[in-house]
Chain A
């Protein structure tokens, strides 16, 4: 089974500053999909950004961008101009093209935004 590792259990950032959350994964597959989800106290998991492994270009969604390093099996999330509403648990997830909707999640990073 694929393993997803988030080595930062907690992170904090000043409002309006930039923060990077780390994620590494272990796989022998060459084609796969990576996701970042956010889980605020409301409990609902919300998609932040996704990346296809075959695409070399890093995905970007407004203030959120990724640094995808396929050879290093690294998929970090950068949040620019941090806002109070960004405070949440962030989960990195891996999806194989062969196992349908069985996502493998990391253990999460709790992000605090300091006003």
Chain B
């Protein structure tokens, strides 16, 4: 079974631009979550989508948004990029969103650099 696929692996953008990151979950997984990883703040939850609906959202500004398609693939968008948005963005899929012991399965991440 193919794992979680994130594209692109690397991105370099300029302040003020916007960016879209893509994530394809493991086949059969309906939940997709996004996390931001930085050296200073560690891993922080952005949001979770389940069956095309946003289930939960972390404490990030509205510039961060996402969506999920009917095939469970998800995209994350960041508008008006700031230098502080430079980070590794990790996508994770899971069988369910029930808060049980189903683990998150992570992709390799997208490294975003904002200059």
A interface residue numbers (CB < 8 A to B): 33, 35, 37, 42-47, 50, 52, 91, 95-108
Tell whether, in the assembled complex, residue B90 and residue A45 are in contact, meaning their CB atoms are under 8 Å apart: yes
The 8 A-B pairs at the shortest CB distance, nearest first, are namely: A45-B106, A105-B43, A97-B99, A100-B97, A101-B33, A47-B103, A102-B45, A101-B48
- A102→B108 CA distance, assembly (Å): 19
List the A residue with the shortest CB-CB distance to B59: A1
Chain A residues within 8 Å of B28, by CB? none
User: How many contacting A-B pairs (Cβ < 8 A)?
Assistant: 69
Range for the number of chain B residues in contact with chain A: 20 to 34
Interface residues of B in 59-115 (CB under 8 A from A): 88, 90, 92, 94, 97-101, 103-109, 111
Q: Which residues of B contact A42 (CB under 8 A)?
A: 108
Asked if B16 is at the interface (CB within 8 A of a chain A CB), the reply is no
- CB pair A108 B42 closer than 8 Å: yes
- Name which of A42, A52, A100, A106 has the most chain B CB atoms within 10 A of its CB: A100
